[in-house]
A and B are shown apart, each in its own frame.
Chain A
Amino acid sequence: MLKALEGSQAIAQTVALCRPQVVAAYPITPQTHIVENIAKLVADGKMDCELVSVESEFSAASLVLGAASAGSRTYTASASQGILLMSEVLYNIAGLRVPMVLTCANRAISAPLSIWNDQQDSMAVRDAGWIQLYCADNQEAVDTTIQAYRIAEATELPVMVCMDGFTLTHTLEPIDIPEQDMVDSYLPPFNFKRALDPANPTSVGTLVSPDFYSEARHSHHHALLDAADEIIAADNDWKQLSGRSAGGLLSVDGPDDARIGILTLGSVFGTLSEARDEYTELPPTKLIKLRSYRPFPVDALRHACAGLTELIVLERAISPGYGGIVSAEVQMALSGKPDMPRIHSFAVGLGGRDIPLDIYRKLHAAIKVPEPRAFSIIDVEPEKLPVEDHGIESANTDSNQQRSIS
């Protein structure tokens, strides 16, 4: 049944349905309401778990690593600086192949200090070895959280569920929270085969010499790649039960004959989708919603781009000194494809800048160029920039930034 819920409240209720035994988190905007709501559920006796208040995100991650290694189903959540403070432990969790679920309430990274939404935080730990799933709305975040436990426990990999801070976490909308029975039937109790056991002591995380480090990395990489099958299966099975798909690895929305595509991660998808309905004079456009960023679905992406001549990759973070993080990977994924579309890389909505419907029209206008431009932040306001930082000419019209295509 659809209920009016704030995104964070819905996530807390969903986490409770997944019956984690240990939760540890440190509050940080915009994740705070998730943890507050979990604390309320525990205090009201509606959630039976060990909730540990810790003194930092480093401790939160360390604590759930220990608990999960001992065989507990665990949960934590963070954002922004909190994700960065966790980062050392995040690599350890993944490298030790310990399954757990973390919600990243996506937020910009300091400096300059911003509490608002973009996806620089999860992008900063892109290479930590976690599965990363991006959610376009709160229903997807609910369904993905449940699926994440199944994926994590089947693959022995941790899963980061990425949901845009404020844009999703602080938005109240109609959300269906599944029945406990349905979640229980989908998610059997966690049985970690490698759980630490005092009766059978082992050491984990010890020094690995050059004789074996490469092999460990190889195995980790391939475990991530192989997780794609489980991500698809988990979504299919959930759809059987609930009637809803959360979007598999990626999903494509739009007319088959579209020649223009826009690839998105997260909640900007909905805005573009309504913009497409509104700006009917613009050419047919496919919207590609990339849900699984790690593992990166190369084959699915190549398939999704069939027939496209132009592909806009809409970035919610940047790699300063290079540009678009996702676009670089998309370019590589599609390279060698005989009918490869031209790739246009734009960042939008950094540090919480509003993404209006009009961005759709701007994107269409920006790709009408002889050669794709270099990456740019499409909603930068040049008049606010000092002259020495290209404040006179718009970053989007600067002819010096034409990319030479090899």
Chain B
Amino acid sequence: MIEVRIHGRGGQGNVVAAYLLATAAINEGWHAQAFPAFGAERRGAPVVAFVRLNHTPIKRRSQVLAPDYLIIQDEALMNVPSITDGLKSGGNILLNAANSRDQYPTENNVDNSNLITLPATHLAQQYLGRPVPNTALLSAFLKLTDLLPHSSLIQSLEERFTGAVLEKNIALIEAAAETIPANLWKQNANA
């Protein structure tokens, strides 16, 4: 089973990111589960969502305590001491940040060889005109892990969005994928 924990702030599409990833997996024949752990539901507050992907049905309902991957949508959250709690040894972090990974770790003892950054907010501003980094990060995540084809993300976007929002997001995820090396985390995904 592959477990992903997504950290972000209210308004960044954290739960939507989890739902999009699980939807893409389910459409590809996986069993998947996505759910939020809401705090106070307001813009800017730190929020967490979880995704599980498996080849057999998933029955557990507990939170993801030992994720294989972290997706962090706001680089300031890297300064929260508990942010990497439970990350499996050899686990990877995808971080929305303007700078390269050499700028990290900050206050966390993150092994930065496990960390990839993507300037997702910048890309989102460019393609969507809004600072919503979630779909760009998902695109990068799929490119890194090769867990699911890029087309599966397009399909799950098509199930949720229409018109200009859909078109702009598709352009965004294409652009995001281009900046990221393929299959860098593939071995971990297959483990």
Contact = CB atoms under 8 A, between A and B. Distances in A.
Interface string B98-138: 00000000000000000000000000000000000000000
Interface string B23-60: 10011000111111110010000000000000000111
B18 interface: yes
A172 interface: yes
Interface residues of A, number: 28
B56 to A, nearest CB: 10
B80 interface: no
Contacts of A172: 18-19, 22-23, 32-35
B106 to A, nearest CB: 27
Interface residues of B, number: 25
A356 interface: yes
B61 A174 contact: no
Contacts of A4: 19, 22-23, 26-27, 32, 156, 159
Contacts of A356: 62-63, 65
Contact of B58 (A29, A164, A170, A173): A173
A386 to B, nearest CB: 24
A357 B59 CA distance: 11
Nearest to B34: A172
B61 A6 contact: no
Contacts of B34: 171-173
Contacts of B58: 173
Interface stretch (A181-189, A237-245, A270-278, A336-344): A270-278
Given A271-B60, A355-B62, A174 B26 contact: yes
Contacts of A174: 26, 31-32
A236 interface: no
Contacts, number: 71
B65 A167 contact: no
A166 B62 contact: no
A148 interface: no
A166 B32 contact: no
A363 to B, nearest CB: 14
Interface in B149-191: 156, 159
Contact of B26 (A2, A170, A273, A274): A2
Contacts of A251: none
Contacts of A270: 59-61
Contacts of B159: 4
A262 interface: no
A330 interface: no
Contacts of A164: 61
B38 A166 contact: yes
A274 B60 contact: yes
Contact of A171 (B27, B33, B41): B33
Given A167-B61, A171-B61, 18 more contacts: A4-B22, A4-B27, A4-B32, A115-B38, A137-B59, A166-B36, A170-B15, A170-B35, A170-B36, A172-B19, A172-B23, A268-B61, A269-B59, A354-B37, A354-B63, A355-B61, A356-B63, A357-B62
Interface of B: 15, 18-19, 22-23, 26-27, 31-38, 41, 58-63, 65, 156, 159
26 contacts: A4-B26, A4-B27, A4-B32, A4-B156, A166-B36, A166-B38, A168-B61, A170-B36, A170-B38, A171-B34, A171-B61, A172-B22, A172-B23, A172-B32, A172-B33, A173-B22, A173-B26, A173-B34, A268-B61, A271-B59, A354-B37, A354-B62, A354-B63, A355-B61, A356-B65, A357-B60
Closest 6 CB pairs of A and B: A270-B59, A4-B23, A4-B26, A171-B35, A274-B60, A172-B34
